[in-house]
Structures are given as C-alpha cells and as structure tokens.
Chains A and B, each alone.
Chain A
Amino acid sequence: MTTAPGGTNNFKVVLLGEGCVGKTSLLLRYIEDKFNDKHLTTLQATFLNKRLNIKGKRINLSIWDTAGQEKFHALGPIYYRNSNGAILVYDITDEDSFGKVKNWVKELKKMLGSDIVLIIAGNKVDLEHERTVPLEEAESYANMVGAKHYYTSAKLNQGVEELFLDLTREMLEKYEQNSQTEVNRTSQVLVVDDETPVQSSCCSGTKSN
C-alpha cells in the first residue's frame, strides 16, 4: 500500500483460483462492464487498474489477474507479495476449484498472516442448477477463516460491483487501523532507539565472555 502524492490510496489486489473459474471475466466485468463468451486463457498474469472514490477518498486498485493452472501455482508469490487484498475465485459447479481456494487461503495465511483482506467468490451463479459446492459449506468455511463470501456471476453482472467495493472498504479500514498502530509502533521504536547503545555494549560483553 502506498499513498501517492495526490492523496490517492493505492491498494494491490490479486485474483487467484483454479483455471477457468472466471477470474478474468470477473475483472473484465468490473473494470469494463463487459462479458465475453469467447474466453481468453490467462497464461501470463495481467495487470489492470481501477480508480474509485470511497468515503471521499480517492483510491486506486492495482489488480493482478493470474494464471489458474496448478503448474503456475509456484509463480503465485510474485503476484500476491505485498498485496492488500486477495480475491479467491471458485466455480460453484466445480468442487475441485473450491478445494483450490482452501489451498490458497492456507498459503496466504501462512505467508501474509492477517495483513491481507480475503474475499472468496463463488462465481457462475447463473449455473445455479448445476451447483456442486454446497452453499452452507462455502459460507461456513469463509466464516471460519475470516473471509467474506460472495456469490457472483460475471455473465449476468451479479455481485461483482459489491464484491470489489466491499473489498476496497475493508482494505481501507485495515489500512487506517494499521496506520493507527503504526503511530504507536513508531513511538515504541523511539524507546528502543534510546536503548540501542546499552544493547550493543551488552552484545560486546557477550563476546568478551
């Protein structure tokens, strides 16, 4: 997260999930309000920007859309590193893709702790009749790991806008909280600074011992 000189808050977001669950479609719907039935494979992560206003604050979302196939999993850290938010997408008609979301949650929690806002999106609700991932399971899982859960359809434009808006709001909240604690932290750092010489003499003492 960086703050540009113009007072714009810049948040980094990453889209993760199994191949063909609709990551690119969700993004395309959100940014350009389009849906393309002719899918594009995302082989190489793509980068898109979105500017918006929330609570009178100018916000810029830098979004990385990643390749879904398992093979590309190893490249994940390049894109989720320093992210403020992650959207984990699965296809409600594909149970494996939900399993993949769980893997991502585990990895992100391990690597980034609670610094990142997690959103789980069950996409393709226009295919409700083909659903295989049970509603309750998905929601209770999301609840358990502290992620918000959304149902979306990039095709019918359902839930997409809300998802990104809520994500941005949460990231903003977290950022404001953090900058609060940051202030506290800096004062603590000052105290530590004062003690530094003592510590160093202590260390040299250890060496001479």
Chain B
Amino acid sequence: MASSLVGELSAAPSMTGSLLEGAGPAAPPMQLMHVLECTVDIKETDAKGTFSHVPKERLGFKLRGGIDKQVTINVQQVTNNVQAELDDAQNGYTGGLYIERCFGILLAPGRSVKHSDMRLLEMKKKNSTQQHFIERYFSDGDEPLLSGTGEVSKDCGEDVLVNWAQVLRSWTGPRPRALNHLVRVGVPEALRGEVWLRLAGVDQNDKLMETYRTLISKDCPFESVIQRDIARTFPAHDFFREAGGLGQDSLLRMARAYAVYDHEVGYCQGLSFLAATLLLHMPEEQAFCLLVRLMYGYGLRELYKDGFEALYMRLHQLDRLMEEQLTDLRAHFQELGVEPHMFASQWFLTVFTARFPLPLVYHILDVFLLQGIDTLFQVALALLSRSRKDLLTHDFEGVLKYFRVTLPKKCRAEETSRQIVKLACSIKVKRLNKYQQEYEKFIKESAEKEKINVELERLKVINTQLQQDKETLESQLNEARAQAAEAHKDAAHHAAVARDYRDICARLDRQLHHMQDYVKDCVNCSVKLAQKDNKEEAEQKGAEKIEGSSDTEARLRQRVRDLELELAQVKLAHVQAQCSNQ
C-alpha cells in the first residue's frame, strides 16, 4: 500500500503567539520576519527492527502498510529577525523564536484525507534543541493498540499543584469537598500514587502489607496461568517490557499473592492489567493493598465470581442505559446483533485498563476510585456517545473492529482523554437498582423456565412412552374387537344352524308321527308293528329268541327305511335349497 502522509504542524500558531508582547506603545511597530525551515523524514522498520529511510517518489514518500514508522520533523530557524539592533533594545529578546510547546502532528493514511479522519499523535521524544522532534507512528490501522501504550505527561501547572497541596493538607478525616472537582479534572501524575491510596482508604500501616509478605512466600495453584499473562500485560510499557525485569517480577508476585489471598476468585485474566496500572504508581505492597480494596471494597470482585453472573447483570444495566440515552445506537446494535458483552465485558472487568492508552486509563481510575462502580457506566456511555456517529455507519464486523482497534487509538491524545472523562462525569446514571431487579427477575424467570423446560422435556418423554403404550393397547383392542365381531358372527351362524336343525328335527318328528298314524290305520301293519314291538320288547328282555319274521314284515320294514331315507334326503335338499337362497 502506498499512502501519502498528510502532516500538519500544529505547533506553528503557538510559536508566533507572544511575539509582540514586549513592544510598548511608544516603540515603532516591529517588523519581524522569521523563516523556519521544516523537513519531514520518514523511516520504516526493516526485518532487523532498525529504522531506515523510505523511498521517495515525485509527489511524496512511498510507504508500506503494516509497518512501524518513525516520523521526524525538523524545524529549524534559518534567519533571525532582520532588525537585530531593535531586538537588542527589547528586554532580552535574542531574535530566535522560542518554541514553547509542540503538541504533535496530525496524521492519517490515504489520499485526500478529511480533516476529521486525522489523528493527533503526541511527541514521543524531543531532543534538547527544542526544534526537532520525533514522532513514532504506528501506521497500521488494523493492529490493535498494545496495552500500556501512551506517555503520561508529568507536567502540571503551578496553580493546580497549589490547589492539590491545599486539599491534601486539609484531608485528615473525610474527603474534603474540593477534592471531587480536582479528581475529576485528573490527578497530577506525580501525586497519583498517594491520592489513589487515600481515595481507597488504604492506610500507610495497613496490616495487609504484612500479610502480603507472607502471601508471596506461599505456593500458588494459579502459577502457570499467571505466568502466561505476565508478558502479555502492558508490553508497550518500558517497565513491563523485559522478561524477568523488575516490572514483570513484581506483577507476577502480586498476582500470585492475590490468587492465594482470594481463594474464590483466584487469578482471573484481566486482573493483571489492573495490578500493572497500580504498580506503575506505588510500591508492590501498597499496590497489593489497593488491589484488594478495589476488588472487595469497590465491588469489582463480584464481576469475576460465579461464572461472571454479576458482570452480565452490569452489562444488562449498560444495555438499558443505552436504550435510555443512546436509543438509536442501541437500536442499530440490536439490528446487527451486537450485544454489550461483545465490547464492554473487557471494559468492566479491567476498569478500562486493558485496551486504552495510559493517560485515559489513569484518569478513569482517578474517577473510579473517587466515586465507584457507577463510573464504569459513565465512561462506557461517554465512549459510546463520542463514537455514536461512526458506529452507526458500521456493520457487525465493523462495529466490533471499531471497539477493538479504532476506539482505543482515537483516545491517544491526552486532550481526548480529558474530554472523555469530562463527558463521562456529566452523564447521569439512574435507575440502576431497577435494572438490577429487572435482570434478577429475568434470570430467575429464565431459571424457572429452564426448570419448566426440563420438566416439560421429561413429561414429553413420558408422554411419548404413554402414547406408544396407548397405541399398542389400541391396536390390541381393535384386534380383540375384530375377533369378538368374528365370534359374534360365528355364534349367530351357529345359532341359525342349530335353529335349522331344531326345525328339521321337529319336522321329522311330525312326519314320523304322521307315518306312525298312517301305519296304525293299517291293521295288518299295526298288528305286525305290535308284534314287532312285542318282539322287540321280548328281544330286549330275553336275548333275541325270535329270529324269523315274515317276508311282508321285512318288506314293510324295508319300505319304512327307504321312506325314511328318502325323507331325509328331501329334507337335506330342502335345507340346502334354503341355504343357497340365503
């Protein structure tokens, strides 16, 4: 990527500002002419990590993306005031311009850059001649800022120090009234260590310091987890840069001691950033006491506990506050599916120490120590409302990238961090309790819902089981019913057959009687019959004495049998005919 570099020397106006001051009304108007020569030089890192000049093109420098750049701007006064004699008359004015302050340069990658896209980069180093400063510019727009980036100026106005001295003197019991305002404006870097400890109520002779000395000698179950994070905490800061250096060692000891001290939380990623911030301002023991106070006294510990339940409650509060104060942004996030945990969990867990440049980190901590957990919401809302316009134009990926990369970079200038904190302090955070209850209710309800769901699942399983049982039973029932119907049909059939047989028997009986009557009318036959009957009786009584019988009798008998047989056949034919009719 070749990009042109737009640089503006914002120091220029302040260099001419006080030129006419010494001239009295009687003196002739001074004709001052200063010629300043500015040169820009840009170097890029090479593979060995040293900076070398970038190639120049006709219209500018040829730059590559993703590489650290060193921008040197040399401002040299080439001619002094032409009217040198007159200058001598003015009290001590030597003709050279005195550069009081350089703020830095405005930079942005790309061609035809809008002014609003430019970032103010403050000076990294300034050499002694005051006319030459070096700006180190991490030009890559995609790389997130390393934690611990940023210089915090130790300069502080005389009046500010006087005010602070007064307040600190009068601060023996409760916090003096004037303190609030002073802290919100920002604690002077030189006083931070002391003021932080006092704000948190850590005594110089706190017993915890004694405890700390014993804690560091104990074995820590989180040793390896902590080790992994040490080199990843504030790698951009000189104090923590070196493996095995003073900073990393103190940080390791402190994190270990805390993990031993607080069994329940132990060590949690994120803690190291808070610890490192404190270590940059005070000795280890004191930093440890302050960390304990922050965790226990300021409620940060809750955020780390129980699977981050309290953190999620806080995020819900933030969500509701956004709904209230940044309605359109929140609607935009909802539409995209951006949830507060995707950008604010790190902010809250580390009190903004993990991603932001140090001037802002310190300033936020000033206010946090002054007023507590509400500050988290105020700062979050301030950051969101400052970024609102940008965020509204981004999609899901863009929004998350903005939070990760762009936003921390936009906060690099000290002036920006002052504005952010000022805005944050002006934001009202209300109804937190209501939102908390709301969330707890929601959690309770969803837990119940979950329980009900589990119960429902269980019942569903049982239901399916029962359904299956029911189905089997039903099919069995149907089968039985079919069988019963079949049986009924059979029974009816059998009954009909039986009835038919009964009819047949009755008819046969009738015919038999008829025949008997007919036979009775025939004397011959009746005699023979009687004889036969007698004979039969005799046969039954005495064993078959009478064998012989007349031919006629035999014929008649034969005839009767034939008739009977014929009758039976007719009957059968009749029945068959009936059946076929049915």
Which residues of A line the B interface, CB within 8 A? Answer: 19-20, 32, 34, 36, 38-41, 43-49, 62, 67, 69-72, 74-75, 78, 96, 206
Partner of A40, one of B232, B343, B350, B396: B232
CB distance from B224 to the nearest CB of A (A): 8
Lowest 8 A-B CB distances belong to which pairs?
A20-B228, A44-B346, A74-B307, A38-B235, A39-B232, A41-B232, A47-B400, A69-B269
Min CB–CB distance B145 → chain A (angstroms) = 10
Residue contacts A-B, CB under 8 angstroms, 14 given? A19-B229, A20-B232, A38-B236, A41-B269, A41-B270, A41-B354, A43-B346, A44-B346, A46-B400, A47-B397, A48-B397, A49-B397, A71-B304, A72-B269
CA distance A72 to B231 in the complex (A): 20
**Taking the nearest CB of chain B, how far is it from the CB of A154, in angstroms?**
15
- Cβ of B341: which chain A residues have Cβ within 8 Å of it? 44, 75, 78
Residue of A nearest to B404 (CB): A46
**Chain B nearest Cβ from A122, distance in angstroms:** 18
B478 CB, nearest partner CB in chain A, Å: 14
Contact B268 A71 (CB under 8 A): yes
The answer to whether B342 touches A44 (Cβ under 8 A) is: yes
The yes or no answer to B233 lying at the interface (CB within 8 A) is yes
B396-407 vs A, Cβ < 8 Å mask (1 yes, 0 no):
110011001000
Contact B228 A43 (CB under 8 A): no
**17 more A-B residue pairs beyond the given contacts A19-B269, A49-B397, A206-B467, with a C-beta to C-beta distance below 8 A:** A20-B229, A20-B232, A32-B66, A39-B232, A39-B235, A40-B147, A41-B147, A41-B269, A41-B272, A43-B350, A44-B343, A48-B397, A62-B397, A71-B268, A71-B269, A72-B269, A206-B470
- Cβ of B296 within 8 Å of any chain A Cβ, yes or no, is no
Cβ-defined partner of B270 (8 Å) among A38, A43, A46, A78: A43
Q: Are B269 and A45 in contact (CB under 8 A)?
A: no
Least distance between B239 CB and chain A CB atoms (Å): 15
**Docked pose: A49 CA to B394 CA in angstroms:** 14
- Residues B144 and A40 in contact, CB atoms below 8 Å apart: yes
Instruction: Compute how far the CA of A172 lies from the CA of B231 in the bound complex, rounded to whole angstroms.
Output: 39
- How near does chain A come to B217, taking the closest CB pair, in angstroms? 25
Interface size on B, residues (CB 8 A): 37
- CB of A41 within 8 A of CB of B146, answer no
Bound CA–CA A38/B470 (angstroms): 67
**What CA separation (Å) do A72 and B233 show in the bound complex?**
18
Q: Contacts A20-B228, A44-B345 hold; do A74 and B404 have CB atoms under 8 A apart?
A: no
For the complex, give the distance between the alpha carbons of A45 and B354 in Å. 14
Of residues 219 through 266 on chain B, the ones whose CB sits less than 8 Å from some CB of chain A are: 224-225, 228-229, 231-233, 235-236
Expressed in whole angstroms, the Cα–Cα distance for A67 and B232 within the complex equals 13
| Interface set, chain B 379-413, CB cutoff 8 A to A | 396-397, 400-401, 404
Whether A41 and B66, one on each chain, are in contact in the complex, defined by CB atoms closer than 8 angstroms, is no
Asked if B445 lies at the interface with its beta carbon under 8 angstroms from chain A, I say: no
How far, in whole Å, are A62 and B302 apart by their CA atoms in the complex?
Answer: 32
Q: How far is the CA of A45 from the CA of B404 in the complex (A)?
A: 10
Check: B424 CB closer than 8 A to any chain A CB. Answer: no
Task: Enumerate chain A residues within 8 angstroms of B272, measured Cβ to Cβ.
Answer: 41
- For B401, the chain A residues whose CB sits under 8 A away are 47
Alpha-carbon distance A162/B144, docked complex (angstroms): 26
Asked whether B142 is an interface residue with its Cβ less than 8 Å from the other chain, the reply is: yes
Closest Cβ neighbor of B307 among chain A residues: A74
- Given the known A-B contacts A43-B269, A43-B354, A67-B269, are A34 and B232 also in contact in the complex, defined by CB atoms under 8 Å? no
With both chains docked as a complex, state the minimum distance between the C-beta of B316 and any C-beta of chain A, in angstroms: 14
B345 x A43 contact (CB < 8 A): yes
- Given A19, A40, A47, A75, which contacts B146 in the complex, CB threshold below 8 Å? A40
Report chain A residues within 8 Å CB of B142.
32
Nearest-neighbour CB distance to chain A for B123, whole angstroms, equals 22
The chain B residue sitting closest to A96, CB to CB, is B224
Distance in angstroms between the alpha carbons of A19 and B307 in the assembled complex? 17
State in angstroms the CA–CA spacing of A98 and B346 once bound together.
Answer: 27
Report if B349 contacts A (CB, 8 A): yes
A74–B233 Cα gap in the complex (Å)? 23
Q: Is the CB of A41 within 8 A of B144?
A: no
Which residues between 340 and 362 of chain B lie within 8 Å of chain A, taking CB atoms? 341-343, 345-346, 349-350, 354
Partner of A47, one of B229, B307, B342: B342
Write out the residue numbers on chain B whose beta carbons fall within 8 Å of the beta carbon of A48: 397
The closest CB in chain B to the CB of A42 belongs to B269
> How far, in Å, is B235 (CB) from chain A's closest CB?
4
> Within the assembled complex, what's the spacing in Å between the Cα atoms of A67 and B346?
11
B415 CB to closest chain A CB (Å) equals 26
